[in-house]
């Protein structure tokens, strides 16, 4: 039988799909294109309504076109979304229970989910070090879809990183909903130090970090470990204390700013990105102004800006929405403009410099593309053979969104 996997959501979901694929292959199923597949697995995500809407339309279309295809639904899903889809799916299963999925074409195994070695299908090697979250930010579904926090033993993680590096992965992503609170026998900072000792030429990135749990030991590990990239995503979510409180984020704007100042003192050249939600219920112009102010002051290298969307089962779902869609879009635009203006200034500083880039792929125009250590996009001409290797690129052009290089200088 043939199967096809469709993945929505974050890198942790991508990593779950790699385990599903590996388990299916072991059961003599063959991965194929969607049209040829007998089984379609949807690894879904309830975090954004837009993702659920797209997936619902897709599942319905597949079932209409071919009633014989077996549809399996798994992932990070709220009860309400499962209810909406149950009539269109043949099986609804929990990803963490993969070894015991009760399907006629799979053999159940008495092993732990994390014992399944992922079938690495991306240029990056994803390593999930924990599952779940205990933080209950008032807008977030994760504690409801994935349950409480659980950390994997450090030795298992080290082995998995070694395996990914052995497979040729040059970019290792350490994943968890809140990696800073990792506690699998050692601290997260010590885990980074141990990973850095693994032999090989690779970069390590990690996400997500919660400001409340970010220790200076982690900053010191970033500074001292060569393979840990000097890139940090530290979600701010809002620059207003009242909104942060409503979001159940246990820090205020001043504490966040101090934390960033301390991190920058330890690692002066760190590239800092953040996540922001605009239009949270009750966010007035004054509250938003505080976010803009902070956004300007902190001077982020990158920001992932999301318009608030209410999710069932979360605490903020009960709150009346006070910001129109139009206004959310405007606030998103304001922050994006600040970001791009600042980016252009920063990107100009790279002109004529040589930067180390991890080559990730080739775009439609035939240019190679990749990322710098600080997660900046770079495009340049070159051969496909360079994909998944490091290259030194001389930067000749820049824009608000990235850098362009003309030639590859031999290392």
Q: By the criterion CB under 6 A, which residues form the site for ligand SF4?
A: 133, 135-137, 140, 142-143, 177-178, 208, 210
Q: CA angle 135-98-208, nearest 5°?
A: 30
Helix or strand run (H / E) with residue 233: strand 231-233
DSSP calls for 264-299: HHHSTT-EEEEEEEES-TT--HHHHHHHHHHHHHHT
CB 297 within 8 A of CB 257: yes
Helix boundaries (H) for 66-123: 79-85
**Joined tokens for residue 170:** 């040059």
**Beta carbon of residue 134, minimum distance to ligand SF4 (angstroms, whole number):** 7
Instruction: Return left, alpha or beta for 185; rule: phi > 0 is left, psi -120 to 50 is alpha, else beta.
Output: left
Give me the least distance between CB of 210 and ligand SF4, in Å please.
5
| 246 vs 371, beta carbon nearer ligand SF4 | 246
Work out how close the CB of 180 gets to ligand SF4 at its nearest, in angstroms, rounded to a whole number: 10
Measured from the CB of residue 135, what is the shortest distance to ligand SF4 in angstroms?
Answer: 4
Give, as one character, the DSSP assignment of residue 207.
E
**Nearest residue (CB) to ligand SF4, 130 versus 272:** 130
Task: Please give the Cα distance from 323 to 148 (Å, whole number).
Answer: 31
Q: Which is nearer to ligand SF4, 148 or 320 (CB)?
A: 148
Encoded tokens for 316? 């903020």
CB of 140 to ligand SF4, least distance (A): 3
In the three-class reduction of DSSP (H, G, I as helix; E, B as strand; rest coil), residue 158 is classed as helix
Identity of the residue, 143 or 370, whose beta carbon is nearer to ligand SF4 in the bound complex: 143
Q: Which is nearer to ligand SF4, 192 or 247 (CB)?
A: 247
Rounded to a whole number of angstroms, the minimum distance from the CB of residue 386 to ligand SF4 is 36
Supply φ then ψ for residue 75, to 5 degrees: 120, -155
Confirm if 166 and 197 have CB atoms less than 8 A apart. no
* Shortest Cβ 301–ligand SF4 spacing (Å): 21
- Least distance in Å: CB of 238 to ligand SF4? 12
Q: How many CB atoms lie within 10 A of CB 360?
A: 18
Tell the smallest beta-carbon distance from residue 136 to ligand SF4 (Å): 6
Report in angstroms how near the CB of residue 283 gets to ligand SF4 at its nearest: 17
Number of Cβ within a 10 Å radius of residue 23: 22
Instruction: Identify any residues that bridge with 233 across adjacent strands, giving them in sequence order.
Output: 273
Q: In terms of CB distance, is 78 or 133 closer to ligand SF4?
A: 133
Q: Is the dihedral of CA 278, 281, 287, 290 positive or negative?
A: negative
Cβ-based neighbours of 364, under 8 Å, separated by 6 or more: none
- Give whichever of 190 and 213 is closer to ligand SF4, judged by the CB atom: 213
Nearer to ligand SF4, 133 or 157 (CB): 133
**Around 302, how many Cα atoms within 13 Å sit in the side-chain half-sphere?**
15
Choose between 234 and 271: whose C-beta lies nearer to ligand SF4.
234
For ligand SF4, the closer of residues 178 and 347 by Cβ is 178
Give 2's strand partners: 30
The Cα–Cα gap between 153 and 165 comes to 19
Q: How far is the CB of 52 from ligand SF4 (least distance, A)?
A: 17
Could you tell me the end-to-end alpha-carbon distance of the chain, in angstroms, rounded to an integer? 46
Closer to ligand SF4 by Cβ: residue 21 or 207: 207
Q: From the CA atom positions of the chain, what is the Rg in Å?
A: 22
């Amino acid at each position: 039988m043939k199967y096809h996997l469709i993945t929505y959501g974050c890198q942790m979901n991508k990593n779950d799909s790699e385990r599903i694929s590996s388990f299916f292959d072991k059961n003599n199923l063959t991965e194929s294109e969607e049209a040829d597949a007998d089984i379609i697995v949807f690894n879904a995500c309830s975090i954004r309504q837009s993702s659920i809407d797209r997936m619902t339309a897709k599942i319905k279309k597949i079932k209409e076109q071919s009633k014989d295809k077996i549809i399996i639904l798994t992932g990070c899903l709220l009860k309400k979304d499962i209810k909406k889809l149950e009539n269109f799916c043949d099986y609804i299963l929990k990803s963490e229970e993969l070894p015991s999925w009760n399907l006629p074409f799979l053999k159940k195994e008495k092993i732990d989910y994390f014992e399944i070695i992922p079938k690495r299908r991306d240029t990056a090697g994803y390593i999930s070090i924990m599952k779940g979250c205990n933080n209950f930010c008032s807008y977030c579904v994760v504690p409801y879809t994935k349950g409480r926090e659980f950390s994997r033993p450090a030795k298992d993680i080290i082995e998995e990183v070694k395996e990914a590096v052995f497979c040729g992965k040059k970019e290792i992503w350490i994943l968890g909903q809140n990696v800073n609170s990792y506690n699998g026998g050692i601290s997260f900072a010590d885990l980074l130090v141990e990973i850095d000792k693994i032999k090989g030429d690779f970069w390590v990135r990690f996400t997500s970090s919660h400001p409340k749990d970010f220790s200076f030991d982690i900053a010191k590990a970033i500074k001292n470990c060569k393979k840990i990239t000097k890139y940090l995503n530290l979600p701010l979510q809002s620059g207003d204390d009242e909104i942060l409180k409503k979001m159940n984020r246990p820090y205020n704007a001043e504490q966040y700013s101090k934390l960033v100042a301390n991190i920058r003192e330890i690692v002066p050249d760190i590239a800092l990105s953040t996540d922001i939600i605009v239009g949270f219920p009750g966010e007035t112009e004054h509250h938003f102004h505080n976010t803009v102010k902070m956004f300007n002051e902190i001077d982020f290298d990158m920001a992932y800006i999301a318009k608030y969307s209410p999710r069932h089962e979360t605490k903020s779902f009960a709150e009346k929405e006070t910001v129109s869609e139009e206004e959310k879009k405007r606030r998103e635009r304001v922050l994006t403009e600040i970001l791009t203006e600042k980016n252009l200034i920063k990107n100009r500083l790279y002109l004529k410099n040589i930067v180390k880039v991890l080559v990730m792929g080739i775009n439609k125009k035939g240019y190679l593309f990749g990322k710098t250590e600080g997660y900046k996009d770079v495009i340049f001409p070159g051969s496909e053979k360079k994909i998944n290797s490091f290259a030194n690129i001389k930067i000749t052009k820049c824009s608000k969104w990235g850098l362009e290089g003309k030639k590859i200088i031999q290392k």
